[in-house]
Structure 1
Amino acid sequence: MSVSSADYFNSSDALLEIIEVIQADRPVAERRLQVGQHLLHILRAQTFVSYVHGPNGPFLDPIGINMGKEALDAYDNHYRHVDIVTPVLFRQGGASRISPPFDSKEEFVRDFLHSRGMYHGMNFFARPPAAGKADLRIWRNASQGAFTDHEVRLLSGVGGLIERMWSSPVPDTDVQLTPRQAQVAELVTAGLRDKEICSRLSLSLPTLRTHLRNIYHKTKVNNRAGLAAYYAQYRH
């Protein structure tokens, strides 16, 4: 990808401004919003969302640019439970990109992403995940095209700086899962769906769902993404 001198210097200025924002003595939520504004400018993107990682996964304290409260509430109340994209990027950690198929029939992609003009995404998640860490989620419309390797490296640098400079509390408690519960948690974290887990562990679907309910209760999470986040961080 060729970059003009003007684009290069504009991007350099914006990166310096991002660094200044990250280092500023202001509330983290305010700094997340300002970082998002700069990233949208540099990356020629339209939508920015950022959450903080908490006990139930990476879903606390959402802020959005071109993603209003109604959409954030819809995601929290329903779509994050059918989100097939975020858990994949979360497990990868760091900066990664994704462009779901334009003709996807998945509910989250079709009814939440594409219906809001989000076709090409790039996320940054702390690796390993930790309570208090902020993530960065950026989306482009269909006409802008997929993110490049260069842009992934740029987001990785910004996210890595945030990860190092914004402190996060580390919980000092843990829970004990039974061996079978640990197997289920491991397969959920690996991204397997219910039928695949049942086949792998020779379980009936009702039995699997009983295990999941018990695991959610023990770990104080309320969905698969939250369990994956918890298990990735606190497994023995």
Structure 2
Amino acid sequence: MQSTELGQRCLNTFTQLIPASGCVFYRIAAQLEPHDFLLQKMHSDMHERYLSQYRRVDPLQPRNCQLTGHSVVPLRLGMSAQDDLSNRRYDGFLQSYGVVDVVEVLAFEQGRPVAGISLLRGCDLGVFGPHELEQLQALQGMFELAVAPRLSSTPTLQLTSREWQVAELLRAGRSNKEIARQLGVGLPTIKTHLINLFRKVAVSNRTELVATLFL
């Protein structure tokens, strides 16, 4: 089963049982970098801003979640382990899109997270309650059984977080100039990232790169 189909099925299962205003499925590389994002009911603008400006202050990124020792991590738990300045910046980002709560659910294989689901809620649904977090914990076991054996057996590419960002924007159809502007770097830097990506993924063009990484 392809990653996209697998992710879609997981998102559908979660949101049928636990209402969410938006959600994301993603894979997690060996360096604990999330990639291969599958969005559901979420504006692409929000995701692109997250990747380019707010990813590093996200208290629920895989590395932070793993440090909590939990596989279901609500936003308030993630924020308790991060400095106030980063939390305020990230909270402002969420509020600008009307998001009032987030929960991360991780699937592990041999102690390493290999996939995750983000569930986001707006004011209409409110924060996740204790009973819903218990339900998510029960779903996490099935999520892990469904995805861990498939994704852990997939060779993991040693890409940097910036290279994954470039690849994600290529997937969204952005030109080199648009990617440079989005990430706040020069055009030569983007060209260097592309050269490195082509070499690491063993492809010769953008189309092959996106197909290899995301299809």
TM-score, with normalisation over the residues of structure 2?
0.56
Equivalent residue for 1:110, pick from 88, 92, 111: 92
Match of 2:72? Answer: 95
Match of 2:210? Answer: none
The answer as to 2:49 corresponding to 1:74 is yes
Aligned residue runs from structure 1 range 14-93, under 5 A: 26-86=1-61, 88-92=64-68, 93=70
Q: Distance in 1 between matches of 2:133 and 2:50?
A: 25
Indicate conservation of the 8 Å contact 1:53/1:129, yes or no: no
- Cα root mean square deviation, aligned: 2.9
Determine what percentage of the aligned residue pairs are the same residue: 19
Deviation at 1:98, TM superposition (A): 2.5
Match of 2:153? Answer: 169
Change (3 A) 1:165 1:41: closer
Change (3 A) 1:72 1:40: same
Considering fraction of residues, name the structure with more strand.
2
Deviation at 1:142, TM superposition (A): 2.2
Larger radius of gyration: 1
Q: Which structure 1 segments of 5+ residues have no match?
A: 1-25, 173-236
Match of 1:213? Answer: none
TM-score, with normalisation over the residues of structure 1?
0.51
Change (3 A) 1:56 1:68: farther
Residues 89-140 of structure 1, C-alpha deviation per residue, up to 9 Å, x if partnerless? 342231132357xxx97122102x1111211111112356536x21011011
Q: Distance in 2 between matches of 1:61 and 1:37?
A: 17
Q: Which amino acid aligns with 2:73?
A: S
Q: Which structure 2 segments of 5+ residues have no match?
A: 80-85, 157-215
Match of 2:165? Answer: none
